[in-house]
Structure 1
């Protein structure tokens, strides 16, 4: 008799970058957890409604600074308890809802309300009542990184995040900016989504990134380099490498940046010597094999001589 197959349980979340600029968000609670949530929401430019009878001094400072800044994020603070279903504030009017309160009954009621109205909700420290997790995050300019343990070990996620952050190059943001400008201009030159042109454009950008290496991508912030790459690369249906750029025609400052990049990124500067490396690698293998064979032959002859004299 066949054993019934066990039902597979999903073990991972779908990690997305959710844009919340100018969108309404409901945050219930005024403690340290709400403070960390508020920091993330402000950086997204959300319109936040915060409900709590008390708030920390840090939250109070965030409210004052956010509402007086030119950034799009705004906070409406309602100094009172949240009443759940009977509250005048309705979860259906928000893009997402977050709770961080020591009231499991109201938290569960809020979760059920959100499920009914199909509003994503995060109930702090209760993974089973979460449609999404915050994870351990860090932000550096345009770069955002998140590590998720699916709600199992937040501190472990934070430790992993710190390791990743320490490993990233200092000028990484400049590289992101450079490749972003190149990609934007290419999309303007070759518009279209989903067709052959789009596929070719994405493949070319991927190859350019691989050929230039992470550190040298910041050089695409220079208009002269982008123009040369478009004319001699894209328009001729080929991928140009950094060592093919006429650096003598570029300003001294750009040449210095390139030389620094060659020292930092091992992929750059080795691209044009692949054949040489392959040749010497093959030569080394042949010589090693030959020496090994000679050694074994010599050993066999020595053993044969010894055995003949012994007999």
Structure 2
């Protein structure tokens, strides 16, 4: 810290969760690297077109083409593939031709289309990191092009450290947020700040195990505390649930 503020390190990337759902992405090449890129894009609900001669497709890529998961152009890349009417949002190249890759990259730069040229960091507008996935939870480790294989090892270590059911906990937090917006739908700055502040307190106070165990009734009872602006513990929420216990006295206690 310098003067109480974080020290700027520089040399990093701006790590974002890029919302590519429904957008058109070109993948140039059909080998193993392309297969991994395509898999990531499909997980993000992108519309994918792979450009590669049929004989260059791996079994996985060929399967995704034949099953209709992606579109296929059976030839090499041509400039017409980036014509404006095709609405291409991103280009990924994974071909064993450095000169052709550089030409594609320069063409993308000219048209201001973001591109990633596999294994050539200087010709990438963005990098792919190693991703841990557990339901809605995604954790990306990036080495900024220095050591992709090491990133995979670090990602595995992080994944192994997370409590079991973390992804399920994240999903339940998302469900809780949606319920909260339904009962407190204000769109003003004050309303948004209040919801965010209350949710932050809940996430700070409740553990992963608490969120895993939380059910619909727990959510409803927790949200009842939003109005007064308090954050009960998980145990407090459970104690407020009716027990529905009926005592059946059979006289064995010796009462008269």
Deviation at 1:177, TM superposition (A): 1.9
Determine the C-alpha separation between the residues in 2 that align with 1:50 and 1:180: 34
Deviation at 1:75, TM superposition (A): 1.3
Where structure 2 has 5 or more consecutive residues not aligned to the other structure, the ranges are 1-7, 245-256
Where structure 1 has 5 or more consecutive residues not aligned to the other structure, the ranges are 1-7, 68-73, 253-311
Given candidates 171, 178, 199, the residue that maps to 1:184 is 178
Change in 2 beyond 3 A, CA 1:46/1:170: same
Partner of 2:203: 209
Partner of 1:301: none
Given candidates 121, 126, 137, the residue that maps to 1:132 is 126
8 Å Cα contact 2:25/2:46 also seen in 1: yes
Deviation at 1:215, TM superposition (A): 1.5
Partner of 1:241: 233
8 Å Cα contact 1:100/1:123 also seen in 2: yes
TM-score for the superposition, normalised by structure 2: 0.84
Determine the C-alpha separation between the residues in 2 that align with 1:243 and 1:199: 26
8 Å Cα contact 2:51/2:72 also seen in 1: yes
Determine the C-alpha separation between the residues in 2 that align with 1:141 and 1:95: 26
Determine the C-alpha separation between the residues in 2 that align with 1:95 and 1:246: 48
Q: Which has the larger radius of gyration?
A: 1
Q: Which digits, 9 at most, give the CA deviation of each residue in 1:195-233, with x for residues without a partner?
A: 11211111111111111112101344x2221222222x2
Determine the C-alpha separation between the residues in 2 that align with 1:182 and 1:245: 14
1:218 aligns with 2:220: no
Given candidates 45, 54, 58, the residue that maps to 1:56 is 58
Partner of 2:40: 40
Change in 2 beyond 3 A, CA 1:251/1:11: farther
Q: Which digits, 9 at most, give the CA deviation of each residue in 1:28-83, with x for residues without a partner?
A: 01111111111111112221111112111121122234x1xxxxxx4111121224
Partner of 1:90: 82
8 Å Cα contact 1:136/1:146 also seen in 2: yes
Deviation at 1:9, TM superposition (A): 8.8
TM-score for the superposition, normalised by structure 1: 0.70
Determine the C-alpha separation between the residues in 2 that align with 1:167 and 1:9: 27
Deviation at 1:91, TM superposition (A): 5.9
RMSD: 2.1
Given candidates 147, 154, 157, the residue that maps to 1:153 is 147
Number of residue-to-residue matches in the alignment: 233
Determine the C-alpha separation between the residues in 1 that align with 2:176 and 2:182: 10
